[in-house]
Structure 1
């Protein structure tokens, strides 16, 4: 088996538009939640979100390309350019065919479709622009990233609802293991804060109802949790074989140890209350990573803050690890639920926790004794983190768990 390592990271998030700012704000417990500005919610009771602020795509892309691409794609390009700079990796004619892209999204260009539909209904079919389809298609982010940086290896898009961003990292790991590339640009991106998605999620029920106090609205694993806050953003990672990274003298952040996917085969939106699929994903991820339960120091939880999802995830954690569980935290309390980018955000936090031996807190936390999980609540914890797992569970019962470790080479 080849060793797969992470050598660069980029991030566009509601609490910072680069990895350093993102990490600093996680540690101080800063919430990115606030009043909606991306659209007018009207009389809708759900009017808060974790929006990306002060993002200027012109720093990363040509104006013409910006006009023809979705906000999520712009996030992906920005995060990738940051990650490449961070990794000191130059893409040239000599290596471009061995560098691939695996950028995930849960909703693709759903906002572009919504806006185009409004024009179609309110005005005329003639007002629908020719770039609606290419900007809205799910694979746009991966393709535009590959064109922006010149990567001509495997280019693919993963879509696994809220587990998409994490799935892309795991699939990139497999591409590298199979020798289909020397380097993979992997991560997730999402921008789906719109009237349509808020109406749908609002009527479905998972959004937090505490809109009068947005920064306290998302409370994963807390006894008073009542829903998530929608988020957006992108994370991109440079993953490469250890051999390739060492040959070019790259700084290595952490190692991707392995991971696993399972399906619930239960319901399109609700998790299996038995937690069978989630616990099997954790168990298989440990096995494929050559880890025992006692080897895990930290769990970056899916932790949405909904009553049922947190209950089922806690059950899965107890089923695998017993009690006491490993230290557990959910950054969605600060960055919201970025859907297809959420797993990649958590992966970045896991890598930084391993590197810095500090666990970011789950803010707004009040213990729920029924859950039986050792949650790092409200304050960061200095703690030796050598190995961490990241959970990501998506609509449709798609469960993805990956393990990361301290690089000891």
Structure 2
């Protein structure tokens, strides 16, 4: 990763901590009020003094909504008052911001993602830090933004891009229906807690209590599945979709085209139904009809669409040949024997005559590692071979390839291969995940 130094006319660090703290304080205060109000030991006078009755319920709902937005909502764009001109330096260890009398150093290992935001009149490179803080850097053009991300190790070919999608409820329900659902769930939860507190303190049969607890768990599971936001991971190999206790991976080989509209980004599958990556909650029919034709897409939609197009362009450049890399195949060998053969192959040690005869160089193996259309076994084999190399740049390339992989099972296998800890189960898991995606 190359060093970079640029001067930006506007840089801001947007903190997520205050929003999260406010949400947690509101949630804690409201939960305490609701629990006190449900306590049968309190008399009516105590309830009037210590609890705000129904306002505690409203506060509880508002606290949950604030926390969901703080943890899973889009990055907040900086206010004009937060912007300062700054010099940005990126080296192998850290990203350093020098804003005159303010100097901030962000270690590279604390960066968890980055992307270009071109949805506004200005172009921004956004670096996400662990803990959801974001560094917004105004760039002159898209090329400078891409160079910045590449220097930070967060470009499309270097790192998986994660973005949160709206929940299932927000995707399928109109605003009025969402409000009604929230009210039903909120007052249902209060009634459930009240009934539970009375039931546990009564002489109810244990089977009745167990059934009530089981029913409550089913309701909570259904609510979480519908209400929690989902995530999309865009890698060089495909798109991974994550929701509550559900995973799906769509390789680029199955995607014919991508397009966007007011709801989000659509993946047009070859021989299948299009998949919506919903970045905007569903609007009512009246709001949709009142929207001017040709109106701009939402910021989250444009960011996701641009990253998908960039990642798919990286995937199209893969050109590794299948026949030339037969020596990488496992062919039923035990995992240790396969690893030793690949290490000899990479180092050109005695016994690697087949490798030399195949005329496959280290650069060829590196291209196989980056070939997102190759079988998982061959990409893992390339990772093992390069990890055993004496060249630090080749070993670093394995780490980058793993970071850019959206398929969780394959990413785990590549990481284990880079550390010399690969097991047969890791390879089998990656192959099963690939087979499921190919169906």
Larger helix proportion, structure 1 or 2?
Answer: 2
Q: TM-score range by the shorter chain?
A: under 0.3
TM-score by length of 1: 0.25
Larger gyration radius, structure 1 or structure 2: 2
Considering Cα pairs closer than 8 Å and 6+ residues apart, tell me whether 1 or 2 has the greater RCO.
Answer: 1
